[in-house]
C-alpha cells in the first residue's frame, strides 16, 4: 500500500503586491505568503525610505497551510504627497523571509494649480522683443513657470522659461523674430511642487506696423495675384488701420477719381437687394463691391496700423438680413457658421463650370481670406452672433453638405449663361420642413450689375421685408402634389442660359417632377432624366416664367394643361368692341411671351392719333379702353381709325369706327 509523502515544513515564501485604496492619508498594503506548513506570522514594514521604521501586522496573521494566502494591512494617518516604501515580512519556526520593496504616494488635499493674474505686456512694434510679466502664487511653491507664444495665424506655440523677479512676479521675453504685423498670442503655464498645473487665458498682444506692411500680395490673400480688371469683387481690409478712407487706399493706387471709366466701390446697406451706396471708408469686418478698369491686376497697400485682437472677432447679424462681412486678420481664418442658424457664408467670383460670375451658393465658405469679402444671412427671428477665431483657437466647422442623406427629395437647379450663373436653387419635400416659410427656405442674395438669377417670388413671407425673392422653397413631406413658380432674370447676359439639375434623395414611387417652360409650352420630365433646352429668347425687362410641378402623373398632366390653357399660344389682336363705338371702345390683345409692346391708334391718313401702350409686358391676355381722344386728350372726330399692335416682330391691325 503506497503512502503520499508530504514535503517537510519550510520557511515561508512571500511576494509584495501593489498598494490599493490609496487616498490623501490612507492606503491598503497587499501581498501573498505561503506558510510552508508551519504557523507563520505576517507583518508589513513601511516608511519613507528603505530603512522603513514602522511595522503593522497583517489582518490575516498568523497563517498556516502549504498554499499562497493573500494578506493585507490598512494604514491611516499618512502624509499626502509623500513617497512611502513597504514590504511583506513572514516568520515561522523555519525562518524569516522578506518580500521585495514597493512604493506608493498618497494624494494631496491641494489639487489647485497656481493662481496666474496680472498678465501684462508692453505695446510693441514689428521686430521688438516683448517682455511679459505676471503675478503667480501658490502655497505649495512653484516648480516651473513657462511662457508660450505664437505669431498670429500660427497654431504652433514656442515656449520660454519665466524668471522670478520676487514678490510673486515672473517675467519672460518673446523674441522680436516672432513679433510681426499679424500680432502675437501668448499664455502662461505654471506648476506647483505638488504637480498641480494651471494655464492662463490666451492673451493677444497687438503689434504696430509701418505703412506698406500689408498689401494684397500677402500669403493666403484673396487677391495675391492682384485685383482683377473689369470684374466686380468683394474686398475688405485686414488690420486696424489708422487711415481707412477709400481715397487713401483705392484712389491713391489707381490715381483717379471714381467713375464708370475708372473704378467704383459700393457698400450694401439692405434690406432691399439693390440698397447700395458709394463707400467712402472701410470698416473692419465689413466687405464692399469694387470694380476697377484701370489696370490688369492692381495691388493695394495699406498705411500704418496695429494688429487685430487675436482672441476672436464677433459680428452681430440682424434677423432675416443679408450681411456683408470679412475677416479683419491678415491670414486665413476658419469660419464655423451653424447652418441651422445662418445661410452661408458665400463669396462672389468665377464659380460657374466654365468660369461664369456669380455667388458660390452651392459651396458654403469655411475659410475667410484676408482682403476677401463674404455674405451671410441670419435665418432666425433674433439677432445672432457669429465669431471667428485665429488658428489654434478656432471652433469645429459646421457645414451643411448637400450630400447628407435626407428623408424626402430635393431638386437642385443651376442657371448658367455665357458670363454669369446662379447655383444653389432648391425645391422639394423633406421630413421636418413646413409648407410655408421655415429655415429650409433661403432668400436670393443681392446682386450688383450683371447676373443670371433663378428665384421664386414669395411676397407673402412677411418677416423678410424687402426679401420677397427666394432661391429655395422646401416643403413638407406630408403632401405629394405641388407647384413651384420660378422666374429667370438676367442682366448684361448675352449668351444662352442652360438650366441643369440634380435630384437628391428619392422621389416617391409613382410620382413625377417636371420643369415647364411656359414660353415654349414644353414640359421636361426631370425624373426621367430629360435635359431642358437652353433658353435663348429672354429679356432683361421681364422674367422668363418657369414652373416645377411635382406629384402623381395625373396631377402633373392636369396642372400642365391648366397652366398652358391660361396663356395664349400666339400674338393676337381682337376686334374692338363695341364697334362702331361712341365715345369709348375696348381693345383686347394676347402675348404668348414677354415682349416690348406698342399699341397705337392711327387715322385714315396714317397719322398717329394716340399711344395706348408703349412698354414691356409679360405673357398673357390684356385689354385697354380707348376713350376716343388724341395724345393731347382732345376728343377726335367721327371716322375710321386703326388699332396697330407691334410686339416681338409681329404687327397686327384692326379697323375701328367712331360715330359721334
Do 96 and 168 share a structural domain?
no
| 487 Cβ contact list (under 8 Å, min separation 6) | 453, 454, 455, 456, 457, 469, 543, 544, 545, 546
Question: Which pLDDT tens digit goes with each residue over 56-78?
Answer: 999 999 999 989 999 999 999 99
Q: Phi and psi (nearest 5°) for 564?
A: -75, -30
**What three-state secondary structure class fits 528?**
helix
Nearest CA among 185, 224, 27 for reference residue 106: 27
The pLDDT score that the predictor gives to residue 437 is 87
Asked whether residue 376 is assigned to any structural domain, the reply reads yes
The pLDDT score that the predictor gives to residue 393 is 61
- Terminal C-alpha separation, the chain: 155
Is the CB of residue 263 less than 8 Å from the CB of residue 253? no
Question: Strands 421-430, 472-476: parallel, antiparallel or unpaired by DSSP?
Answer: parallel
For residues 603-614, give the mean pLDDT.
Answer: 96
Do 85 and 22 share a structural domain?
yes
Asked whether residue 460 is assigned to any structural domain, the reply reads yes
- Number of structural domains found in the chain: 5
CA distance 483 to 556: 9
Question: Which pLDDT tens digit goes with each residue over 99-149?
Answer: 999 988 887 666 788 999 999 998 999 999 999 999 999 887 888 999 999
For residues 613-628, give the mean pLDDT.
Answer: 96
Do 237 and 377 share a structural domain?
yes
Query: If pLDDT is split at 50, 70 and 90, which confidence band does 461 have?
Result: confident
Asked whether residue 222 is assigned to any structural domain, the reply reads no
Residue 213 CA to its chain's centroid (Å): 29
Residue 25 clears pLDDT 90, i.e. is over it? no
Residue 158 clears pLDDT 90, i.e. is over it? yes
Residue 399 clears pLDDT 90, i.e. is over it? no
For residues 148-177, give the mean pLDDT.
Answer: 94
CA distance 504 to 514: 15
The pLDDT score that the predictor gives to residue 391 is 84
Do 489 and 351 share a structural domain?
no
Query: If pLDDT is split at 50, 70 and 90, which confidence band does 397 have?
Result: very low
Give the CATH number of the domain where residue 637 resides: 2.60.40.4070
The pLDDT score that the predictor gives to residue 398 is 39
Write out the three cell numbers for 458: 414669395
Do 186 and 146 share a structural domain?
yes
**Dihedral angle computed from the Cα positions of residues 563, 566, 570 and 574, in that order, rounded to the nearest 10 degrees:** 180
Is the CB of residue 490 less than 8 Å from the CB of residue 358? no
Of 540, 565, 590, which one is at a domain's C-terminal end?
Answer: 565
Is the CB of residue 136 less than 8 Å from the CB of residue 146? no
Do 490 and 560 share a structural domain?
yes
For residues 368-394, give the mean pLDDT.
Answer: 90
In this structure, of 173-187, 438-452, 485-499, the range with the lowest mean pLDDT score is 438-452
Range of 248's domain? 227-388
Q: Return the DSSP state at 241.
A: E
Residue 658 clears pLDDT 90, i.e. is over it? yes
Question: Which pLDDT tens digit goes with each residue over 499-543?
Answer: 999 999 999 999 999 999 999 999 999 999 999 999 998 999 999
Question: Which pLDDT tens digit goes with each residue over 28-40?
Answer: 999 999 999 999 9
Q: Is the peptide bond before 583 cis (omega within 30 degrees of 0)?
A: yes
Question: Which pLDDT tens digit goes with each residue over 263-322?
Answer: 999 999 988 788 899 999 999 999 999 999 999 999 999 999 999 999 999 999 998 889
For residues 181-209, give the mean pLDDT.
Answer: 92
The pLDDT score that the predictor gives to residue 231 is 94
Do 517 and 471 share a structural domain?
yes
Asked whether residue 217 is assigned to any structural domain, the reply reads no
Count the Cβ atoms, other than its own, within 10 Å of residue 1: 2
Averaged confidence pLDDT in the chain: 92
Asked whether residue 403 is assigned to any structural domain, the reply reads no
Of 209, 235, 261, which one is at a domain's C-terminal end?
Answer: 209
Q: What is the pTM of this model?
A: 0.77
Do 281 and 340 share a structural domain?
yes
Is the CB of residue 364 less than 8 Å from the CB of residue 425? no
The pLDDT score that the predictor gives to residue 401 is 41
Give the CATH number of the domain where residue 184 resides: 2.60.40.10
Do 337 and 357 share a structural domain?
yes
Do 526 and 505 share a structural domain?
yes
The pLDDT score that the predictor gives to residue 392 is 67
CA 347-348-354 angle, to 5 degrees, is 120
The pLDDT score that the predictor gives to residue 404 is 57
CA distance 334 to 423: 23
Do 34 and 68 share a structural domain?
yes
Of 537, 565, 593, which one is at a domain's C-terminal end?
Answer: 565
Amino acid at each position: 500500500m503506497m503512502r503520499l509523502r508530504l514535503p517537510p515544513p519550510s520557511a515561508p515564501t512571500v511576494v509584495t503586491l501593489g498598494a490599493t485604496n490609496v487616498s490623501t492619508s490612507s492606503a491598503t498594503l497587499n501581498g501573498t505568503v505561503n506558510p510552508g506548513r508551519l504557523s507563520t506570522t505576517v507583518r508589513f514594514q513601511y516608511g519613507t525610505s528603505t530603512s522603513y521604521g514602522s511595522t503593522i501586522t497583517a489582518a490575516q496573521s498568523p497563517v498556516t497551510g502549504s498554499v499562497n494566502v493573500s494578506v493585507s494591512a490598512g494604514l491611516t494617518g499618512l502624509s499626502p504627497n509623500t513617497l512611502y516604501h513597504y514590504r511583506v515580512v513572514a516568520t515561522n519556526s523555519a525562518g524569516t523571509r522578506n518580500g521585495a520593496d514597493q512604493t506608493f504616494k498618497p494624494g494631496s488635499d491641494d489639487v489647485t494649480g497656481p493662481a496666474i493674474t496680472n498678465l501684462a505686456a508692453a505695446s510693441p512694434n514689428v521686430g521688438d522683443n516683448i517682455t511679459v510679466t505676471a503675478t503667480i502664487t501658490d502655497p505649495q511653491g512653484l516648480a516651473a513657470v513657462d511662457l508660450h507664444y505664437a505669431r498670429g495665424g500660427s497654431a504652433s506655440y514656442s515656449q520660454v522659461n519665466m524668471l522670478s523677479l520676487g514678490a510673486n512676479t515672473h517675467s519672460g521675453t518673446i523674441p522680436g523674430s516672432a513679433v510681426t504685423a499679424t500680432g502675437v498670442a501668448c499664455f502662461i503655464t505654471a506648476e506647483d511642487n505638488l504637480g498641480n498645473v494651471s494655464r492662463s487665458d490666451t492673451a493677444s498682444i497687438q503689434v504696430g506696423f509701418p505703412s506698406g506692411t500689408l498689401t494684397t500680395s500677402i500669403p493666403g490673400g484673396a487677391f495675391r495675384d492682384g485685383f482683377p480688371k473689369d470684374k466686380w469683387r468683394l474686398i475688405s481690409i485686414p488690420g486696424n488701420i489708422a487711415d481707412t478712407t477709400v481715397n487713401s487706399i483705392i484712389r491713391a493706387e489707381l490715381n483717379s477719381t471714381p467713375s464708370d471709366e475708372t473704378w467704383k466701390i459700393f457698400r450694401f446697406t439692405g434690406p432691399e437687394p439693390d440698397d447700395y451706396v458709394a463707400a467712402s471708408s472701410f470698416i473692419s469686418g465689413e466687405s464692399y463691391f469694387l470694380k476697377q478698369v484701370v489696370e490688369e491686376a492692381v495691388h493695394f497697400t495699406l498705411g500704418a496700423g496695429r494688429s487685430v485682437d487675436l482672441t476672436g472677432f464677433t459680428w452681430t447679424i440682424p434677423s432675416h438680413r443679408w450681411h456683408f462681412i470679412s475677416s479683419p486678420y491678415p491670414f486665413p481664418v476658419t469660419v464655423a457658421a451653424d447652418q441651422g442658424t445662418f445661410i452661408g457664408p458665400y463669396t462672389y467670383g468665377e464659380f460657374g463650370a466654365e468660369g461664369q460670375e456669380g455667388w458660390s451658393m452651392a459651396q458654403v465658405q469655411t475659410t475667410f481670406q484676408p482682403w476677401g469679402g463674404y455674405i451671410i444671412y441670419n435665418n432666425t427671428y433674433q439677432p445672432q452672433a457669429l465669431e471667428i477665431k485665429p488658428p489654434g483657437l478656432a471652433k469645429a466647422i459646421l457645414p451643411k453638405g448637400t450630400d447628407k442623406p435626407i428623408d424626402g427629395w430635393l431638386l437642385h437647379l443651376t442657371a448658367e449663361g455665357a458670363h454669369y450663373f446662379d447655383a444653389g436653387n432648391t425645391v422639394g419635400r423633406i421630413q421636418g420642413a413646413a409648407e410655408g416659410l421655415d429655415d429650409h427656405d433661403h432668400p436670393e442674395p443681392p446682386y450688383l450689375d450683371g447676373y443670371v438669377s433663378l428665384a421664386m417670388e414669395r411676397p407673402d413671407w412677411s418677416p423678410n421685408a424687402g426679401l420677397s425673392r427666394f432661391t429655395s422653397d422646401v416643403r413638407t413631406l406630408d403632401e405629394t402634389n405641388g407647384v413651384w413658380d420660378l422666374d429667370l432674370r438676367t442682366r448684361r447676359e448675352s449668351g444662352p442660359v442652360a438650366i441643369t439639375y440634380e435630384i437628391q434623395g428619392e422621389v416617391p414611387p409613382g410620382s413625377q417632377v417636371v420643369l415647364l417652360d411656359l414660353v415654349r409650352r414644353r414640359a421636361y420630365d426631370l425624373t426621367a432624366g430629360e435635359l431642358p433646352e437652353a433658353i435663348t429668347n429672354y429679356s432683361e425687362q421681364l422674367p422668363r416664367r418657369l414652373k416645377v410641378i411635382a406629384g402623381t402623373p395625373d396631377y402633373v398632366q392636369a396642372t400642365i394643361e391648366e397652366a398652358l390653357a391660361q396663356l395664349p399660344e400666339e400674338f393676337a389682336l381682337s376686334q374692338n368692341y363695341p364697334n362702331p363705338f361712341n365715345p369709348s371702345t375696348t381693345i383686347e390683345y394676347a402675348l404668348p411671351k414677354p415682349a416690348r409692346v406698342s399699341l397705337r391708334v392711327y387715322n385714315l391718313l396714317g397719322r398717329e392719333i394716340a399711344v395706348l401702350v408703349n412698354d414691356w409686358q409679360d405673357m398673357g391676355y390684356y385689354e385697354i379702353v380707348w376713350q376716343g381722344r388724341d395724345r393731347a386728350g382732345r376728343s377726335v372726330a367721327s371716322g375710321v381709325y386703326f388699332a396697330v399692335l407691334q410686339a416681338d416682330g409681329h404687327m397686327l391691325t384692326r379697323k375701328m369706327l367712331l360715330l359721334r
